């Protein structure tokens, strides 16, 4: 039951991220802040869900979720920090996606598709950094994070 809920949540959050850039209303920092916020919510829920059988993974997920939550709040609401983070925001989001992918690799070793969830995070994080260097379009960048959440949700759903 927990696995299906988490899988559906990941798919829903991923689709939300993919849909929001299409509306074209949110700025780059707000879009990335929203993307990081949704990833942090996902990690916090996963951390709580797996704490019974994987304490190390749960602590990693919870710690990373809290860091990402604070980062997303800063990006969304703190405008003075926006100027400082504007140039490194793209790299920061890509690095966080890579870190989340590595944590997924560590946490999902026993899962049939867990390896692919982690690899997808690492590959999409690298792609995020490469695309972010050359293309600053928030639609493309937000879609990459949404794509990772959808892939993670589908693979977790297939696994359970």
In the block, which residue shows the tokens 């949704």? 38
Q: Report pLDDT for 73.
A: 87
Q: Report pLDDT for 25.
A: 41
d(CA 82, CA 105): 31
In the block, which residue shows the tokens 């949110």? 26
Q: Report pLDDT for 63.
A: 93
Length of the chain: 160
Judge contact between 60 and 102, C-beta under 8 A.
no
pLDDT in tens, the chain (160 residues): 677 888 888 888 888 877 776 544 456 667 778 888 888 999 999 899 988 888 888 899 999 999 999 988 887 777 556 556 656 777 888 888 898 888 888 887 777 777 888 888 888 888 888 877 766 666 776 777 788 788 888 888 887 6
Output the six-digit token pair for 143. Answer: 């879609």
Q: Report pLDDT for 87.
A: 60
DSSP the chain: -HHHHHHHHHHHHHHHHHHHHHHT-S-HHHHHHHHHHHHHHHHHHHHHHTTTT-HHHHHHHHHHHHHHHHHHHHHHH-HHHHHHHTTTHHHHHHHHHHHHHHHHHHHTSSSSSHHHHHHHHHHHHHHHHHHHHH---HHHHHHHHHHHHHHHHHHHHHH-
The phi, psi pair for 50, rounded to 5°, reads -100, 5
Q: Report pLDDT for 69.
A: 92
d(CA 23, CA 118): 29
Q: Report pLDDT for 147.
A: 84
């Amino acid at each position: 039951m927990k696995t299906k809920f988490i899988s559906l949540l990941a798919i829903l959050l991923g689709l939300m991220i993919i849909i929001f850039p299409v509306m074209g209303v949110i700025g780059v920092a707000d879009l990335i802040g929203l993307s990081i916020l949704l990833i942090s919510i996902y990690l916090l829920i996963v951390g709580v869900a797996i704490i019974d059988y994987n304490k190390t993974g749960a602590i990693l997920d919870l710690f990373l979720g809290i860091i990402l939550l604070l980062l997303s709040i800063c990006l969304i609401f703190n405008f003075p920090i926006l100027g400082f983070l504007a140039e490194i925001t793209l790299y920061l989001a890509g690095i966080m996606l890579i870190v989340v992918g590595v944590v997924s690799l560590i946490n999902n070793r026993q899962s049939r598709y867990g390896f692919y969830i982690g690899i997808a995070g690492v590959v999409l994080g690298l792609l995020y950094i490469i695309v972010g260097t050359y293309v600053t379009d928030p639609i493309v960048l937000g879609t990459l994070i949404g794509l990772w959440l959808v892939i993670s949700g589908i693979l977790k759903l297939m696994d359970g």
